[in-house]
Structure 1
Amino acid sequence: MDEQPPEQPPAADGKLDPRAELSEFLRSRRARLKPEDIGLPSYGRHRRVPGLRREELAQLAGVSVAYYTRLEQGNGRNVSAEVLGAIARALRLTDAEHAHLTHLAKPRQHRRRRTPRTQQLRPALQQLLDSMDSVPGYVVGRRTDLVGWNRLASALFGEWGSLPGQERNWARMVFLSESSRELFVEWETKAADIVSYLRMDAGCHADDPKLSALVGELSVKSEDFRRLWAAHDVQEKGYGTKRLRHPLVGELTLCYETFKLPADEDLSLVTYHAEPGSPSAEALRLLASWGEDATRAGSASREARRD
């Protein structure tokens, strides 16, 4: 008989529990699959659990029920990469989900650092961002923290420079700021993306007290976050399209690209661009001009105060 323990709350001791995360992740992925999806008989209409039973998943992965049960209970210390691969195939995991499963099952082997370094932007990288005067760009790090950005990104998404350091975080802005719901036309998609990035981060840095504190804060303050966090969806940030509704230039459709920084794989450069000649490209041009005017006005005001 499959037991479905309740979703565990975020840890209060400064870290997330990899064993609990592993257990909940496997159960959530197993619940997505139906027997008929993988060619197994459904054994009638009345089933005690949603999705596959443990014995069905174990059969599909070629492992014993007892072995899989131990793994789903959070005991993945001695599991091999081959077994994890078989379970990932049986569960039809994506590459990101497979990586997340491996991080959770073998946290000691995949922990990058005992103490995460302070996230900092190299001066040359900030200069590169500043030179991209027609392309909104920013660097995002662990916990969806904003580490650096250019003027156009701030004009597009909000005046990030005026925020306290702790508030320069995509998850906090998306779930705790009403303005984000107005800015992102498909807010639910953006919110789900942010949570899936945090879930991926949690698999790599379960012992990060700031991550645990962030998850705890958002779980308390946002019902939407609690719902999405419980889904255990994970993904890496890649590329795609976002529709924005900007208060100054109206609606824009922008493509984004993500580039991992080789010097620090925890940091990613994200850029946005519009199709050449499109209304969105013209809106970006107007926004860039507005940003230049605002910068000049601010500089003039500072000069006047000095005089």
Structure 2
Amino acid sequence: MAARRNELLSAFLTRKRAEVSPETAGIEATGTRRVPGLRREEVAFLAGVSLDWYVRLEQGRPVTPSEQVLGAIARTLRLDEAERDYLYNLARPATGPGAGDPGLPAVRPGIRKMIRTFDNQPAFVLGPRMEVLDGNDLAWALLADFPARAPDDRNLLRWIFTDPAARDLYIDWAQIAAELVGVLQLEASARPRDQQIAALVRELATTSTEFRTWWARPAPQGRTSGTKRFQHPVVGALTIEWEAFTLQEDQTQTVFVYTAADPDSDAALRMLASWRATTIRDSEAGTLTPQHHLRPNSTEPRGPQGAE
């Protein structure tokens, strides 16, 4: 485990150093440069550490960096918040839950109740291993019916990489999948002894070439906000804006809230909510028909942007 963390740290620092030009760092570039970005001695100078010490850090050799030194290196390499956390996690001794981790606490009743009262806003809760812990009906209608899956198969990242429906659903699938790999990289750096994360990584690296490629290139991502575009089999095209809120009591659960990005997407979400409610009602009444499982070639109306 320690050797792997050192490899990740070395790869991450080397890549970030190559991305910072001398001009950006305020250094006059002179002569022929054999490497892109900053040289090691330039990073050491700008961060106020010895060249030998920085070389040891970048090579993953034993050092004991202080918060101040890591902060100076983060500023020199122009790291964002997620990248800075990743650096800190890898450069310091491993902590966090290990193989005997009993799991995460249940989602608080107040959070569960809140997301079910949202009007026309899909919402769900993820754990640090991308576990889908809770959500509302509109989230299941937009993404996938996670409550219908086995408890050990309710994982957003596994679904995105292994279910062909996910690739069809996300218009920008590759971008979203790569970013979520970066989120897992950040979580793994903070929980290096978590055997469930390690097992998920092994599984996806075995089954997905794309995951294996992105995992090998450290690009840690935080969970903050963004935009996603969908091509939904029932209501057609829609765009949402999302916000993420990490619950502060243990920093292990994150609430995601989706909001329509435009009037057409708002109408599509309302149609999707109506479809989901009808599906649940008919299922409970025992009158569910194949029309409730529409596909893109269905002749049923599919919303303002998806009608064909």
Shorter-chain TM-score bucket reads 0.7 to 0.9
Compared CA separation, residues 63 and 46, structure 1 to 2 (3 A) = closer
Compared CA separation, residues 179 and 128, structure 1 to 2 (3 A) = same
1:284 counterpart = 2:269: yes
For residues 176 and 119 of structure 2, the distance between their equivalents in structure 1, rounded to whole angstroms, comes to: 25
1:232 counterpart = 2:218: yes
> Do 1:219 and 1:226's aligned partners in 2 also have CA atoms closer than 8 Å?
yes
Q: Which moved more, 1:121-130 or 1:292-301?
A: 121-130
Map of 1:40-119 to 2, 5 A cutoff?
Answer: 40-42=27-29, 44-45=31-32, 47=34, 49-75=35-61, 77-108=63-94, 111-114=95-98, 116-119=101-104
Compared CA separation, residues 106 and 169, structure 1 to 2 (3 A) = same
- Tell me which of 251, 258, 261 is aligned to 1:272: 258
Shift of 1:123: 3.4
Shift of 1:167: 2.6
Match of 1:298 in 2: 283
For residues 210 and 136 of structure 2, the distance between their equivalents in structure 1, rounded to whole angstroms, comes to: 30
Q: Which moved more, 1:170-179 or 1:38-47?
A: 38-47
Match of 1:146 in 2: 132
Match of 1:121 in 2: 107
Percent identical across equivalent pairs?
39
Map of 1:140-179 to 2, 5 A cutoff?
Answer: 140-179=126-165
Q: Which moved more, 1:160-169 or 1:37-46?
A: 37-46
Match of 1:223 in 2: 209
Match of 1:27 in 2: 14
Q: Which runs of 5+ in 2 are unaligned?
A: 288-308
Q: Which moved more, 1:60-69 or 1:247-256?
A: 60-69
1:198 counterpart = 2:184: yes
> Do 2:159 and 2:166's aligned partners in 1 also have CA atoms closer than 8 Å?
yes
Q: Secondary structure at the match of 1:142?
A: coil
Shift of 1:245: 0.7
For residues 213 and 183 of structure 1, the distance between their equivalents in structure 2, rounded to whole angstroms, comes to: 26
1:77-133 Cα shifts (integer Å, max 9, x gaps): 52111111111111111122111111111134xx34455442222334323232235
Q: Which amino acid aligns with 1:289?
A: S
For residues 76 and 95 of structure 1, the distance between their equivalents in structure 2, rounded to whole angstroms, comes to: 24
> Do 2:97 and 2:193's aligned partners in 1 also have CA atoms closer than 8 Å?
no
> Do 1:17 and 1:206's aligned partners in 2 also have CA atoms closer than 8 Å?
no
Q: Which runs of 5+ in 1 are unaligned?
A: 1-10, 303-307
> Do 1:258 and 1:268's aligned partners in 2 also have CA atoms closer than 8 Å?
yes
For residues 180 and 167 of structure 1, the distance between their equivalents in structure 2, rounded to whole angstroms, comes to: 15
> Do 1:54 and 1:65's aligned partners in 2 also have CA atoms closer than 8 Å?
yes
Q: Which amino acid aligns with 1:159?
A: D
Match of 1:181 in 2: 167
Q: Secondary structure at the match of 1:218?
A: helix
For residues 298 and 16 of structure 1, the distance between their equivalents in structure 2, rounded to whole angstroms, comes to: 52
Q: Which amino acid aligns with 1:35?
A: P
> Do 2:97 and 2:194's aligned partners in 1 also have CA atoms closer than 8 Å?
no
For residues 183 and 229 of structure 1, the distance between their equivalents in structure 2, rounded to whole angstroms, comes to: 23
Match of 2:303 in 1: none
1:127-182 Cα shifts (integer Å, max 9, x gaps): 32322352111000112111111111000001212222333212112222221111
TM-score, normalization by structure 2: 0.85
For residues 167 and 16 of structure 1, the distance between their equivalents in structure 2, rounded to whole angstroms, comes to: 30
For residues 157 and 3 of structure 2, the distance between their equivalents in structure 1, rounded to whole angstroms, comes to: 17
For residues 102 and 38 of structure 2, the distance between their equivalents in structure 1, rounded to whole angstroms, comes to: 41
> Do 2:53 and 2:63's aligned partners in 1 also have CA atoms closer than 8 Å?
no
For residues 263 and 78 of structure 1, the distance between their equivalents in structure 2, rounded to whole angstroms, comes to: 29
Compared CA separation, residues 51 and 219, structure 1 to 2 (3 A) = farther
TM-score, normalization by structure 1: 0.85
